[in-house]
Protein backbone atom coordinates (compact mmCIF):
# COMPACT_ATOMS: atom_id res chain seq x y z
CA UNK A 1 0.00 0.00 0.00
CA UNK A 2 3.02 2.32 0.24
CA UNK A 3 3.21 2.43 -3.54
CA UNK A 4 0.60 3.26 -6.11
CA UNK A 5 -2.31 5.58 -6.51
CA UNK A 6 -4.37 6.67 -3.51
CA UNK A 7 -6.68 8.79 -5.67
CA UNK A 8 -6.83 10.17 -9.20
CA UNK A 9 -4.15 12.81 -8.56
CA UNK A 10 -2.16 11.50 -5.59
CA UNK A 11 0.34 8.68 -5.29
CA UNK A 12 1.46 7.19 -1.96
CA UNK A 13 5.12 7.88 -2.74
CA UNK A 14 4.67 11.66 -2.67
CA UNK A 15 3.59 11.46 1.00
CA UNK A 16 6.57 9.32 2.01
CA UNK A 17 9.56 10.79 0.19
CA UNK A 18 12.07 12.81 2.15
CA UNK A 19 15.51 14.08 1.22
CA UNK A 20 16.44 14.08 4.91
CA UNK A 21 15.40 10.43 5.29
CA UNK A 22 17.45 9.45 2.23
CA UNK A 23 20.49 11.44 3.38
CA UNK A 24 20.38 10.01 6.92
CA UNK A 25 19.32 6.47 5.99
CA UNK A 26 16.00 6.70 7.85
CA UNK A 27 13.31 4.21 6.85
CA UNK A 28 10.17 6.30 6.59
CA UNK A 29 7.71 3.42 6.31
CA UNK A 30 4.13 3.83 7.55
CA UNK A 31 2.05 1.12 9.16
CA UNK A 32 -1.53 0.35 8.11
CA UNK A 33 -2.95 2.87 10.61
CA UNK A 34 -0.87 5.71 9.17
CA UNK A 35 -1.79 4.69 5.60
CA UNK A 36 -5.48 4.67 6.48
CA UNK A 37 -5.10 8.20 7.91
CA UNK A 38 -3.31 9.33 4.74
CA UNK A 39 -6.02 7.82 2.57
CA UNK A 40 -8.67 9.63 4.62
CA UNK A 41 -6.91 12.98 4.14
CA UNK A 42 -6.36 12.41 0.45
CA UNK A 43 -9.90 11.32 -0.32
CA UNK A 44 -11.77 13.79 1.88
CA UNK A 45 -9.50 16.85 1.68
CA UNK A 46 -6.67 16.86 -0.84
CA UNK A 47 -8.35 15.26 -3.86
CA UNK A 48 -11.48 17.45 -3.58
CA UNK A 49 -9.24 20.53 -3.16
CA UNK A 50 -7.14 19.51 -6.18
CA UNK A 51 -10.25 19.19 -8.33
CA UNK A 52 -11.60 22.60 -7.25
CA UNK A 53 -8.20 24.28 -7.62
CA UNK A 54 -7.72 22.84 -11.10
CA UNK A 55 -3.95 22.58 -10.77
CA UNK A 56 -1.47 20.26 -9.04
CA UNK A 57 -0.99 20.34 -5.28
CA UNK A 58 2.65 19.71 -4.43
CA UNK A 59 3.32 17.86 -1.18
CA UNK A 60 6.66 18.98 0.29
CA UNK A 61 6.25 16.93 3.47
CA UNK A 62 3.77 14.18 4.30
CA UNK A 63 4.22 11.26 6.67
CA UNK A 64 7.26 11.39 8.97
CA UNK A 65 8.22 8.48 11.17
CA UNK A 66 9.22 9.67 14.67
CA UNK A 67 12.95 9.47 13.84
CA UNK A 68 12.51 11.55 10.65
CA UNK A 69 10.25 14.00 12.47
CA UNK A 70 12.97 14.58 15.07
CA UNK A 71 15.61 14.92 12.34
CA UNK A 72 13.68 17.74 10.63
CA UNK A 73 12.91 19.50 13.92
CA UNK A 74 9.21 18.61 14.07
CA UNK A 75 7.30 18.80 17.34
CA UNK A 76 7.07 15.40 19.10
CA UNK A 77 3.27 15.18 18.78
CA UNK A 78 3.21 16.25 15.12
CA UNK A 79 0.23 15.12 13.07
CA UNK A 80 2.79 14.24 10.36
CA UNK A 81 3.80 11.23 12.50
CA UNK A 82 0.21 9.94 12.36
CA UNK A 83 -0.27 10.45 8.62
CA UNK A 84 -2.72 13.25 9.34
CA UNK A 85 -0.84 16.28 7.99
CA UNK A 86 0.91 17.55 4.89
CA UNK A 87 2.88 20.60 3.94
CA UNK A 88 1.97 22.03 0.54
CA UNK A 89 4.03 24.32 -1.68
CA UNK A 90 2.15 26.39 -4.25
CA UNK A 91 4.16 27.27 -7.35
CA UNK A 92 1.68 30.01 -8.28
CA UNK A 93 2.53 32.19 -5.29
CA UNK A 94 0.27 34.15 -2.97
CA UNK A 95 -2.84 34.06 -5.15
CA UNK A 96 -2.69 30.26 -5.40
CA UNK A 97 -2.20 29.95 -1.63
CA UNK A 98 -5.17 32.23 -1.03
CA UNK A 99 -7.36 30.25 -3.41
CA UNK A 100 -6.35 26.94 -1.81
CA UNK A 101 -6.99 28.29 1.70
CA UNK A 102 -10.42 29.46 0.57
CA UNK A 103 -11.20 26.00 -0.81
CA UNK A 104 -9.97 24.32 2.39
CA UNK A 105 -12.13 26.62 4.57
CA UNK A 106 -15.18 25.09 2.88
CA UNK A 107 -14.09 21.54 3.80
CA UNK A 108 -15.50 20.34 7.13
CA UNK A 109 -12.78 17.66 7.45
CA UNK A 110 -9.90 20.16 7.80
CA UNK A 111 -8.66 20.37 11.38
CA UNK A 112 -6.01 23.05 10.93
CA UNK A 113 -4.58 25.12 8.10
CA UNK A 114 -1.48 27.22 8.81
CA UNK A 115 0.35 29.45 6.38
CA UNK A 116 3.97 29.09 7.44
CA UNK A 117 7.27 30.70 6.49
CA UNK A 118 10.83 30.04 7.62
CA UNK A 119 13.58 32.59 8.24
CA UNK A 120 14.86 32.12 4.67
CA UNK A 121 11.48 33.20 3.29
CA UNK A 122 10.38 29.74 2.12
CA UNK A 123 6.56 29.43 2.38
CA UNK A 124 4.22 26.48 2.69
CA UNK A 125 0.75 25.60 3.84
CA UNK A 126 0.45 23.10 6.68
CA UNK A 127 -2.84 21.20 6.41
CA UNK A 128 -3.94 18.63 8.97
CA UNK A 129 -7.05 16.59 9.51
CA UNK A 130 -8.72 14.89 12.42
CA UNK A 131 -11.81 12.80 12.93
CA UNK A 132 -13.22 15.60 15.11
CA UNK A 133 -11.82 18.74 13.41
CA UNK A 134 -11.30 21.96 15.37
CA UNK A 135 -11.41 24.16 12.23
CA UNK A 136 -8.37 26.34 12.95
CA UNK A 137 -7.16 28.61 10.12
CA UNK A 138 -4.15 30.86 10.69
pLDDT tens-digit map of 72-107: 999 999 999 999 999 999 887 888 999 999 999 999
> What band does 23 get if pLDDT is binned at 50, 70 and 90?
very high
Q: pTM higher than 0.85 for the full model?
A: yes
Q: Mean pLDDT, to the nearest integer, of 48-65?
A: 95
- DSSP 3-state of 100: helix
Domains detected in the chain:
13-137 (3.30.1380.10)
Residue 3 is predicted with a pLDDT of 66
- Provide the CB-side half-sphere exposure for 6 (13 A, CA): 24
Q: Kindly list the distances between the CA atom of residue 129 and the CA atoms of 19, 24, 122, in Å, as whole numbers in the listed order.
A: 24, 28, 23
Per-residue pLDDT reduced to its tens digit, 123-135: 999 999 998 999 9
Please name the helix (run of DSSP H) or strand (run of DSSP E) that holds residue 124, with its range, or none.
Answer: strand 123-129
Q: How far apart, in whole angstroms, are the C-alpha atoms of residue 39 and residue 29? A: 15
Stretch 60-64: mean pLDDT, rounded? 96
Mean pLDDT on 37-62: 95
Q: What dihedral do alpha carbons 72, 75, 81, 84 form, nearest 10°? A: -110
Amino acid sequence: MTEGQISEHFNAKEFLRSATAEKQGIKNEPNWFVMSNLCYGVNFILEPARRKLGMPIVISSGYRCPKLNAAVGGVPNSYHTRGMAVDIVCAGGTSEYNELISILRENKHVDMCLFERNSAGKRWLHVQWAYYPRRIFI
